[in-house]
Amino acid sequence: MLTRPDVAVVGAGPVGLAIAWRCAQRGLRVVVHDPAPGSGASHVAAGMLSPVAEAYFGEHVLTGLLAASAARWPAFAAELAEAVGTGFGYRTEGTIVVGLTGDDLAEARRLWSYQQGLGLPITPLRPSELRDREPALALRVRGGAVAPGDHQVDPRRLVGALRAAAEKAGATLVPDAVGALSDVDAGVTVVAAGCGAAALTGLPVRPVKGQVLRLRAPGGDPPGFRHVIRGYADGESVYLVPRGSGEVVVGATVEERGDTAVTAGAVLRLLRAAVGLVPELAEYDLAEASAGLRPGTPDNAPILGPLPGQPGVLAATGHHRHGIVLTPVTADLITELIVTGEGNPLLTPFTPDRFTGDPHGPGPFAGARTPGPAGPEPTSEEDRWN
Amino acid sequence: MLTRPDVAVVGAGPVGLAIAWRCAQRGLRVVVHDPAPGSGASHVAAGMLSPVAEAYFGEHVLTGLLAASAARWPAFAAELAEAVGTGFGYRTEGTIVVGLTGDDLAEARRLWSYQQGLGLPITPLRPSELRDREPALALRVRGGAVAPGDHQVDPRRLVGALRAAAEKAGATLVPDAVGALSDVDAGVTVVAAGCGAAALTGLPVRPVKGQVLRLRAPGGDPPGFRHVIRGYADGESVYLVPRGSGEVVVGATVEERGDTAVTAGAVLRLLRAAVGLVPELAEYDLAEASAGLRPGTPDNAPILGPLPGQPGVLAATGHHRHGIVLTPVTADLITELIVTGEGNPLLTPFTPDRFTGDPHGPGPFAGARTPGPAGPEPTSEEDRWN
């Protein structure tokens, strides 16, 4: 690198690479630092684009961002496929949510009511309708619903495509580890380092361990079901993501620990729930069991925007369980902020300053925030969750 | 090899290597052919030396051989350790057999009665006695028994030790695959090729798939129990073999198939039974899941002795689930046959000719057998099972 880059991105996961791609498209000179691109949380992630099935009680502000980013996914996927000429497992069959027992179904129904109350597209199905759509479901499954807009992508292939797109647009990948932000010399530094952001910025990003299995249909066949299936099974919550390659991703645990050991108990729980929901999975090969570390935050929402007290440094981290679905909106908003110097109002609830005020002050979405990039009141359809 | 060897052994598993060691000790020139020593069934095997817990209804002739070989294990292990100066995980804590539910216990008790009827050392324990010996057992476990003479060894380390001992005694390992017995030029050829014996000899040896897990206690600790635990758990039969290294082997499925895929259903069944019996295993790492192919025979007993119609060829195969425990007796009897030309009467029920007569004739242990090496009636303690 002979000239100082306009933008240095620390971290070549999907978020960092998408930001690099977008910035390079805008004519900026971009360098991405990562000794092992795509080796973080995305390497283990299932890749569900699920604003609906991931809409939980009390997280409606986050749900708005998920919905905004999911709405950008079709155009984002089309543009990326056009840019690199290869696919990355983007599929739009939708997600089926089911309850195995009566108790499981009651719990699922409470959540659907909440999601419907937010105006999210989720439609209950009778058991017969459920089995018409996915005959592989266990006869025991008591009921379910379909979220037609909850899609999926293959995160490992996505990283490959984003990397190719970023490089094609002119970004440079440098395989080095950044030990301190002072080591980076660029007009703007974007910290998209997942859990590594904590050490670089002091932000409250903590590892949240997730264990995930990859099964494979025997004989090279595709899986016997086409929708993403999310299920509640004897009190366990599990998802099953079928890929065209024959792979089925089964996930995931959510554990407050920072190791990446695969444990017998987690594998047992995931397999029991998976086979309970879709019995034919018992015959599938167990191809991989792995664990990754999600970058969690105190309010489960990402941290996006200027780092207080560090001019020229932006955070794009803390995506927790939602890094894949949030990739397009994160890249767009961070790039807009870099190019225009103005923060989109979508960013407002997610800026770093919510964690850098008085630690004994009000909660994360209340005041206590230094003035960030301001904008007009939300008006677009996309913004109605805020 | 400039001179024709006295003995060529096809297969460098525990059985083939132990035969090579014993023959080399007797001054014979020995060559062992195997492109991948120790990569067969022994690589997956748990290594239980269990004549008692492996004594099943209708297999009392086989049980006699298991007991005879188990009786040789202490001296065999001592001699091997002396020869190579390293250990191989030989442990003599004994085996605890338990039933998780009342139904499981009833099934286990039927087998103990049978085993006691054969005079085998197995002693029922009250639940409190059981937990005094192994506090890691689940509170739910309804009852059990102890077989103090059922020991264990680590098969992977055993292969390494036997190989070192055989080479130290003068045997030569050649890393080639034997495609046909006519390719081997030696005074005597011993086929100890596990499942590979079928293609080489036409003997009815078939692959019997076994799936096995290896767990590992967290933090480098040893496992929280010291006995081998065999359990019946909600209708599943499972064994748990603790090693000093922290490893616990959990096995095994018995499947009539010849592939080595690890399947979701098998891993689920093994983990469910294992964690049901010893709850702390849920916290252990799942270090390995693998599958191996046991060399099964029509009567579940090994095939030991001269191959009819093929002078100078001996079979030492078909050990099915019992290759490790049967290693000493197999090596001793085959070596004795090579050195003296006389078959020990212990061999009589296990010679290959039981499968090479009239296929519609009497069962395997009845007449229909060409005269094999004859000997006096069994008189030793060891022979009382025949």
At A296-319, the pLDDT tens digits run 999 999 999 999 999 999 999 999
Q: State yes or no: ipTM above 0.90.
A: no
Q: How many CB pairs under 8 A join A and B?
A: 67
User: B219 in contact with A at a CB cutoff of 8 Å?
Assistant: no
Across the range B102-118, mean pLDDT stands at: 90
Question: What mean pLDDT value characterizes chain A?
Answer: 91
pLDDT at B363: 34
Are B274 and A281 a contacting pair at CB < 8 A? no
Q: Nearest CA of chain B to the CA of A342: how many Å?
A: 48
Predicted TM-score (pTM) of the model is 0.88
Nearest Cα to A269, choosing from B251, B124, B272? B272
How confident is the model over A44-62, as pLDDT tens digits?
999 999 888 888 888 889 9
pLDDT band for A371, please (50, 70, 90 cuts): very low
Q: Is the pLDDT of residue B59 over 80?
A: yes
| Residue corresponding to tokens 């002693």 | B123
Give chain A positions within 8 Å (CB) of B265. Answer: 275, 281-283
Q: Is the pLDDT of residue B70 over 50?
A: yes
Q: Nearest CA of chain A to the CA of B373: how many Å?
A: 47
Q: Is the pLDDT of residue B209 over 60?
A: yes
Smallest CA–CA distance from B215 into chain A, residue: A264
pLDDT band for B357, please (50, 70, 90 cuts): confident
Domain A1-94+152-205+297-386: CATH class, spelled out: alpha beta
Question: What mean pLDDT value characterizes chain B?
Answer: 91
pLDDT band for A119, please (50, 70, 90 cuts): confident
User: B268 in contact with A at a CB cutoff of 8 Å?
Assistant: yes
The DSSP 8-state label assigned to residue B195 in this structure reads: G
Across the range B203-217, mean pLDDT stands at: 98
List the single residue in B261, B263, B275 with the smallest CB-CB distance to A282: B263
pLDDT band for B2, please (50, 70, 90 cuts): low
pLDDT at A312: 96
List the single residue in B264, B271, B289 with the smallest CB-CB distance to A284: B264
Query: Using alpha carbons only, how large is chain A's radius of gyration in Å?
Result: 21
d(CA B20, CA B190): 9
d(CA B221, CA B63): 36
Across the range B16-36, mean pLDDT stands at: 98
Residues B349 and B357: beta-carbon distance below 8 Å: no
pLDDT at B115: 86
Count Cα atoms within 13 angstroms, Cβ side, for B344: 21
Are B261 and A213 a contacting pair at CB < 8 A? no
Are A264 and B286 a contacting pair at CB < 8 A? yes
Q: Is the pLDDT of residue A3 over 90?
A: no
Q: Is the pLDDT of residue A235 over 50?
A: yes
List the single residue in A218, A264, A271 with the smallest CB-CB distance to B282: A264
Beta strand pairing call for A95-99 and A143-147: antiparallel
Helix, strand, coil % over all residues of chain B, rounded to 5: 35, 20, 40
Are B275 and A265 a contacting pair at CB < 8 A? yes
Q: Is the pLDDT of residue B210 over 50?
A: yes
Q: Is the pLDDT of residue A376 over 60?
A: no
pLDDT at A384: 36
End-to-end CA distance of chain A: 41
pLDDT band for A2, please (50, 70, 90 cuts): low
Q: Is the pLDDT of residue B335 over 50?
A: yes
Q: Among 3.40.50.620, 3.30.9.10, 3.30.110.40, 3.30.1180.10, what is the CATH number of A95-148+207-296?
A: 3.30.9.10
Q: Nearest CA of chain A to the CA of B214: how many Å?
A: 10
Across the range B231-256, mean pLDDT stands at: 95
Q: Is the pLDDT of residue A364 over 70?
A: no
How confident is the model over B145-163, as pLDDT tens digits?
999 999 999 999 999 999 9
pLDDT at A57: 80
How confident is the model over A144-196, as pLDDT tens digits?
999 999 999 999 999 999 999 999 999 999 999 999 999 999 999 999 999 99
Top pLDDT among A115 and A257 is at A257
Domain boundaries, chain A: 1-94+152-205+297-386, 95-148+207-296
